């Protein structure tokens, strides 16, 4: 059975995750800063609970958690330990309770960190900061029971083979707990499924197959072949992505996502699978709801 996933935000629901800026926080005293961060983290924990409740009530099987769920958590000057905030213990408990609630109702959580996570970077400082960010999200994923932290391969830097070798070296530097959750996704500019599958087979990292990206950046594999090979990399329920092109597949810029999913873009070979498919569409929960009706 297909489990459809909603990504991070809502279009038509009063569920809003909040963040802040380093510029604003630097204007505050340490006490004021910690209180502001505590308020934001409390809000986001409450909103995650509401998001979970919405998903369960509306037959949405997966929710992708915003990577800024703890705002500026690993900022080089303003980073913090959640337990050092005024309501830190209560916030952690809220996340843990949300995880229990999701597990009881068979709701899956995932993470998809921002594009600045670059394990393939030739810059060691960038790699170090990327690993710090992944470890923070791994900690939150433990609280809520998320089993996927998905990233892209990063840049090719003029030599994709060397870049992916650096990726594997960096992968070995993250904690064992983090390695259990890490997945890698083909993108629409640099790495195709064919590029990443050898890395997946070598390291045990599952491939999050993004069919939209594969259409934008094709390789020698058909959708059916890429699907089959991606499935073989998973040791838990596979997770894939789908989108439709805003400008159309014949345009010069097919990459930007449409508000909704065109049912013609749904791979027929997915329909009989037991997988999670995250819906990357601008209309968010409205797009998931529409696709669910079309599929069922």
Cα gap 130→113, rounded to integer Å: 10
How far, in whole angstroms, is CA 289 from its chain's centroid? 20
Which structure tokens are listed for 283? 């209309």
pLDDT of residue 156: 95
Query: Tens of pLDDT along 195-235?
Result: 999 999 999 999 999 999 999 999 999 999 999 999 999 99
* Predicted local distance difference test score (pLDDT) of residue 101: 98
Q: What is the mean pLDDT of residues 63-77?
A: 95
Residue 178: band (very low, low, confident or very high) from pLDDT cuts 50, 70, 90: very high
Phi and psi at 84, nearest 5°, equal -85, -10
Q: What is the mean pLDDT of the chain?
A: 96
Strand order in the sheet with 62-65: 207-208, 182-185, 149-152, 108-111, 62-65, 2-7, 275-279, 239-242
pLDDT tens digit sequence for 110-159? 999 987 899 999 999 999 999 999 999 999 999 999 999 999 999 999 99
Average pLDDT over residues 72-87: 95
β-strand 62-65 against 2-7: which pairing, if any? parallel
Residue 250 above 90 pLDDT? no
DSSP the chain: -EEEEEES--SSSS-------HHHHTTS-HHHHHHHHHHHHHHHHHHHHHHHHHHHHTT--EEEEPTTSSTTTT-TTT---GGGSTTHHHHHHHHHHHHHHHHHTT-EEEE---TT--TT-S-HHHHHHHHHHHHHHHHHHHHHT---EEEE----TT-HHHHHHHHHHHHTTS-HHHHTTEEEE--SSS--HHHHHHHHHHH-PPEE-BHHHHHHS--S--HHHHHHHHHTT-SSS-EEEE--BSS-TTSS---SBPSS--GGGS-GGGTTS-EEEEE--TTTHHHHHHHHHHH-
Mean pLDDT of 277-294: 98
As a whole-number percent, the residues of the chain with pLDDT over 90 amount to: 96
The per-residue pLDDT for range 43-69, each reduced to its tens digit, is 999 999 999 999 999 999 999 999 999
Per-residue model confidence (pLDDT) at position 114: 83
Q: Which domains does the chain have, with CATH numbers?
A: 2-13+59-70+109-295 (3.20.20.150), 14-58+71-108 (no CATH)
Q: What is the largest CA-CA distance in the chain?
A: 57
pLDDT of residue 115: 78
Residue 82 has pLDDT above 90, yes or no: yes
């Amino acid at each position: 059975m297909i489990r459809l996933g909603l990504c991070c935000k809502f279009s038509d629901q009063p569920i809003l995750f909040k963040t802040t800026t380093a510029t604003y926080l630097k204007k505050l005293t340490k006490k004021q800063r910690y209180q502001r961060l505590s308020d934001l983290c409390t809000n986001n924990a409450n909103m995650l609970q509401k998001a979970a409740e919405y998903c369960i009530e509306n037959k949405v099987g997966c929710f992708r958690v915003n990577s800024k769920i703890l705002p500026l958590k690993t900022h080089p000057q303003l980073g913090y330990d959640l337990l050092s905030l005024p309501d830190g213990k209560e916030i952690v408990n809220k996340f843990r309770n949300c995880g229990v609630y999701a597990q009881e109702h068979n709701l899956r959580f995932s993470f998809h960190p921002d594009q600045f996570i670059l394990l393939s970077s030739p810059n060691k400082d960038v790699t170090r900061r990327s690993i710090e960010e992944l470890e923070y999200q791994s900690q939150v994923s433990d609280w809520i029971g998320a089993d996927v932290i998905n990233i892209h391969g990063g840049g090719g830097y003029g030599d994709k083979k060397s870049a992916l070798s650096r990726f594997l070296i960096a992968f070995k530097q993250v904690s064992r707990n983090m390695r259990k959750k890490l997945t890698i996704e083909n993108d629409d500019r640099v790495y195709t499924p064919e590029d990443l599958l050898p890395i997946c087979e070598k390291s045990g990292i599952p491939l999050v197959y993004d069919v939209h990206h594969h259409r934008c950046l094709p390789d020698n594999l058909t959708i059916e072949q890429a699907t089959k090979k991606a499935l073989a990399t998973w040791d838990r329920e596979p997770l894939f992505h789908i989108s439709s092109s805003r400008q159309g597949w014949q345009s010069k810029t097919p990459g930007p996502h449409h508000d909704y999913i065109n049912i013609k873009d749904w791979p027929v070979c997915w329909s009989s699978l037991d997988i999670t498919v995250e819906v990357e569409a601008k209309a968010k929960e409205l797009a998931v709801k529409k696709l669910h009706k079309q599929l069922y």
